[in-house]
Chains A and B, each alone.
Chain A
Amino acid sequence: MNLNSQAQTPKFLDIVRRSIGDDWVHTADATVSRYGETTLPGSDNPPPAVVYPGSVDEVVAIVNAANETGTQLFPISNGNNISQGSRAPVGANQIVVDLGRRMNRILDFNEDMGIATVEPGVSYQQMHDELVRRGDRFMVDVTSGPPAGSVLGNALDKGAGYTPYADHFAMTCGMEIVLGNGQRLRTGDGALETARNWHMSKYSYGPYLDGLFVQSNYGIVTQAGFWLMPKPPAIRSFAFTFDNDDDLGDIVAAIRPLRMSGFVPTMMRLCNDLWLLASETSHPSYVSGRSITDDERKDLQRAHNLGSWTVSGAFYGASDAQIAPMVERVRSHFASLGRGRYISHEEAMESPTLASAVAAYAGVPSVHEMKQLAWRPGGGMASFTPGVPMDRDLVLQSSRKSREILRSHGLEYLKMYVCGPRFARGLHHLLWNRTVEAEDRAADQAYKALAAAYTDLGLQVGRSPIRYQDFHMSLLGDATRKTCEAIKDVLDPRGIIAPGRYGIGRAATA
């Protein structure tokens, strides 16, 4: 049978309609066209249909129907992976399986252990609301992405936040997956019929399988346990802003001991001027093909009283008074650099762009940083996410390279480092006018130039827009690629779960 030609689609949809009901199979243009939209370079890729399962049994039925008819599926959680592909399929004729619409339940909440067992459609906002409803005793680690983003979907794409629980995959424990072959798998202690530790113990007997389902296409994860941090009575932020682009290396060197010692418990956000200001204002002199000038950038800095780089973090404690000495220690630590302006918690709360960071440290989702999307008209956005060691020279070298490449493509450099003890996630947001063909092409070329430059520096991305996943996988060694394909052949022998996603399996060309 010819896998995933359009010919199979009607038969597949007939079977699915009988399994989950007519109401949950959508083929109207108004719907499918939306599912094909992305913010990435190139054209949209609408699917032939969208199906909305309501339970794991319905997911099994959809996967079985796909195997029976040779239909490719593209599962999504909430489809809010903005700048990485949103909810558009990676290949032609893939049917979107939208888990977010109906499988959005918090299945269990263990208030003693701080564990929520969630389905893929549970969003950060929903989780936050549920925690408020339950007495505000816990907080969820949020991203700076859309509040409607999926908690589970983000973890499975190696997303992260800013609190001590920032590593979202690390905070999952125990998953349920419907494999590509239709088999239902519970990882960890979930494999035990009478499991008591499913969402408490990550490493009980047997191989650790959970990692197989992160940035892969071997199955559809239908639930997972999430660990939640008890909410502290007091949260106080601190921030420092520095005038010069080249202050970056010294700032990184100053952050490292604070994080290695664990003195600062949060990740530290180190953002450049435009990362912060683009949420507040639009490009001051937008002309397609031309990047903002340094003079214009300095004018914006002055207007918003921020420098080239701004670093922030937060302390947790019993009271503001208890935290105050720790803030003072950080203040004197940064003062030793001999430059930089201290921004108090109170001042940060008066600034929308800094207040959104404070909200993130407090586990409150915010749309604020997404407002960057209005920096230029036309709605183009892609994330380029190379990680970098917390090394003064390498951070500075790579940052200069990014600025140079983006400027040469007529784009702006928006950058945030999320600094851990030894490693920083480095987020670039490429923003452009998607309706101008030349600018769309320039964005594509800029992404590829950045990827090539960082590869030369020995630095790999943490996540990738769907359009570049094949490319990033191709950079990995032969053994890695063959192993990924071999696992795909075993767990999804007919290749029906999102082939091409993350560069694993082969998608039909859109």
Chain B
Amino acid sequence: MNSTVTMPKGDLAEANAIIKTCVHYGFCTNTCPTYVLLGDENESPRGRIDLIKDMLASNAAPSKDTVKHLDNCLSCLSCMTTCAAKVDYGHLIDRARIHIEQTYRRPLADRLIRTALALILPNPRALHTALRIGALARPFRQLFRGRLRAMLELLPAGERNPPAPRRRQVFAADGERKSRVVLHLGCVQQVAAQHINEAAIRLLTRHGIEVVALGNSSCCGALTLHMGKERQAKAAAIRFVQDVMAEKEAIDAVVITASGCGTTVKDYGHLLAADADMSAAAMAIARKTRDVSELLNDLQLHPPKENMAYKVAYHDACSMLHGQRVVVQPRAVLKRAGFSVHDIAERHFCCGSAGVYNMLQPEIATRLGQRKAANIAGSGADILCAGNLGCLTQIGHYSDLPAVHTVELLDWATGGPMPPALRAYPLAPETKTEAPQNDTAPLSAATQSFW
């Protein structure tokens, strides 16, 4: 590891340009989870931008304090939604993490845990083994502290699924084929929550879409990118692009069911911009990439066969709300499928999952998880729904509601099985009532308003 490193000119120029756009309005501080919790200027995007500026200007290893403040950033990108000056904080914090990774020597335990996460999580077979070991250790988690304890707490309950076969599979459309898509299985999702991918495949094929599940490109690179491990992230991205491009028959879209991955894949054009061999293909893949809810919202879904008006609290994953700005589509498609969709207070606020954040920064993640769970409890809903496994795992740890992916609900509504997480819960749909059509309608007891 170098104590100093010269950043490539293009990267430095980009970082400088981003830094210059920050004019210190401070809107970001109001929606930054760490600033709201900790009240420290250096725990805000505005403060972090100043720290990054000093760090990059020095072209040397940052101080321990600077690393702490930058590590505490969730990369939730709430600041980017709020920023009036349109500062591209997402790329700046990624660049800062890469600089830290290349210049700063972390304490041994920190290095070990980060290296382990970067090796295990993107590798389904290694993750499967790690989860089995973790399951054995989980009953003794009270004996552990800090990050190890957090990891054991977050382990999914129940028996581990085997990792998905690492070969390409094609799932034919039911009836006439209307389109053909690549479905990204996700490195963690295909091991920890294979039922989500299964629901997605059933749902898509049921609606006339042929689904190609790729083989070895299991990781998109998001997890390693957010740990500053640029080389691994780019290698994963290149594998992903090559696998998609290797498809002989044309594809209409690359479909993502883990929105954290979606944000990264949609940004491949930027990640691989300096790679002359890959940049054009990366850009093409990025343009074709869609969150599954975007695709589904454009489809005419089969009508629900029964009353599906279950009260669903829809949680916006930060990668959907701030990263991809996919907000309307999941709500619209859930409503069309008959669900009663409820918003959650403070929907702009991260749940604390943030990739590997809840494993690396468990204290802040816990506070955010508890805060999110309290807001969900206030929604009056019976089911929690989100489009990202990380959020479902994190919130599921703090909330009493069963947590399911959007595709599981839509699969269920259009003829698939009830999502596994709902089977143990007594649920009843709301009784459908007609909205009052004129001003002579009686006062609603619920609103006590006259309209």
A residues within 8 Å of B by Cβ? Answer: 30-31, 34, 37, 39, 78-80, 82, 86, 101, 112, 123, 125, 129-130, 132-137, 146-148, 230-234, 316-319, 321-322, 367, 370-374, 377-379, 434
Contact = CB atoms under 8 A, between A and B. Distances in A.
B414 to A, nearest CB: 26
Contacts of A86: 25-26
Contacts of B438: 318-319, 322
Contact of B437 (A322, A371, A373, A374): A322
B437 A321 contact: yes
A436 to B, nearest CB: 13
Closest 6 CB pairs of A and B: A379-B23, A148-B30, A230-B449, A129-B345, A373-B84, A133-B378
Interface stretch (B38-46, B213-221, B224-232, B357-365): B38-46
Given A80-B30, A318-B435, A318-B441, A31 B85 contact: no
A133 B447 contact: no
Contacts of B379: 132-133
A367 B345 contact: no
B451 A317 contact: yes
Contact of A318 (B26, B42, B50, B451): B451
B39 A373 contact: no
A377 B451 CA distance: 46
Given A132-B343, A379-B25, A374 B31 contact: no
Interface in B400-451: 435-439, 441, 446-449, 451
Interface string B14-42: 00000011011111001100000001011
B451 A135 contact: no
A230 B448 contact: yes
B439 A367 contact: no
User: A interface, by DSSP: helix, strand, loop or mixed?
Assistant: loop
B381 to A, nearest CB: 12
Contacts of B446: 135, 137
B449 A231 contact: yes
A130 B346 CA distance: 9
Nearest to B435: A319
Given A137-B447, A316-B451, A147 B84 contact: no
Contacts of B348: 125
A229 to B, nearest CB: 9
B297 interface: no
Task: Name which of B20, B448, B449 has the most chain A CB atoms within 10 A of its CB.
Answer: B449
Contact of B27 (A233, A319, A370, A378): A370
Contact of B345 (A37, A82, A132, A234): A132
Interface residues of B, number: 40
Interface string B57-89: 000000000000000000000000110111000
B375 interface: yes
Contacts of A133: 345, 375, 378-379
B451 A373 contact: no
Given A232-B451, A373-B25, 12 more contacts: A31-B41, A37-B24, A37-B26, A132-B343, A132-B379, A146-B30, A318-B438, A318-B439, A319-B438, A321-B437, A370-B84, A379-B23
A395 to B, nearest CB: 28
B84 A319 contact: no
Nearest to A350: B328
Contact of A146 (B23, B27, B42, B346): B27
Nearest to B447: A137
B449 A232 contact: yes
A114 B436 CA distance: 23
B380 interface: yes
22 contacts: A37-B24, A39-B25, A80-B27, A80-B30, A82-B25, A125-B30, A133-B375, A135-B380, A135-B446, A146-B27, A231-B447, A233-B435, A234-B435, A234-B451, A322-B439, A367-B27, A367-B81, A367-B84, A373-B25, A373-B84, A377-B20, A379-B25
Contact of B21 (A234, A370, A377): A377
Contacts, number: 116
B396 interface: no
B156 interface: no
A148 B20 CA distance: 24
Contacts of A82: 25, 27, 84
Contacts of A134: 378
B451 A379 contact: no
Contacts of B21: 374, 377
Contacts of A370: 25, 27, 84
B68 to A, nearest CB: 15
Contacts of A148: 27, 30-31
Interface in B318-351: 343-346, 348
B304 interface: no
B341 to A, nearest CB: 12
B378 to A, nearest CB: 4
B189 to A, nearest CB: 30
A234 B441 CA distance: 14
Contacts of A232: 449, 451
A386 to B, nearest CB: 24
B449 A319 contact: no
B16 to A, nearest CB: 14
B208 interface: no
B47 interface: yes
A327 to B, nearest CB: 16
Contacts of B85: 373-374, 379
Contacts of A129: 345-346, 375
Contacts of A123: 30
B375 A233 contact: no
A78 B21 CA distance: 23
Interface string B363-394: 00000000000010011100000000000000
Contacts of A379: 23-25, 85
Interface string B97-139: 0000000000000000000000000000000000000000000
A378 B23 contact: yes
Nearest to B20: A377
B437 A319 contact: yes
Nearest to A23: B39
A138 to B, nearest CB: 9
Nearest to A378: B23
A30 B31 contact: no
Nearest to A100: B30
A118 to B, nearest CB: 16
Nearest to B24: A37
Given A34-B46, A230-B448, A231-B447, A367 B23 contact: no
Of B50, B82, B86, which is in contact with the most chain A CB atoms at under 10 Å from its CB?
B82
A129 B375 CA distance: 9
B372 to A, nearest CB: 12
B55 to A, nearest CB: 15
Contacts of A233: 435-436, 447, 451
Nearest to A433: B23
Nearest to B82: A367
Nearest to B449: A230
A370 B375 CA distance: 27
A123 B81 CA distance: 17
A137 B348 CA distance: 21
A422 to B, nearest CB: 27
B447 A230 contact: yes
A380 B47 CA distance: 20
Contacts of B20: 377
A318 B84 contact: no
Nearest to B438: A322
B331 to A, nearest CB: 13
Contact of A371 (B23, B84, B345, B375): B84
Contact of A319 (B26, B42, B436): B436
Contacts of A322: 437-439, 451
A371 B24 CA distance: 14
B41 A34 contact: yes
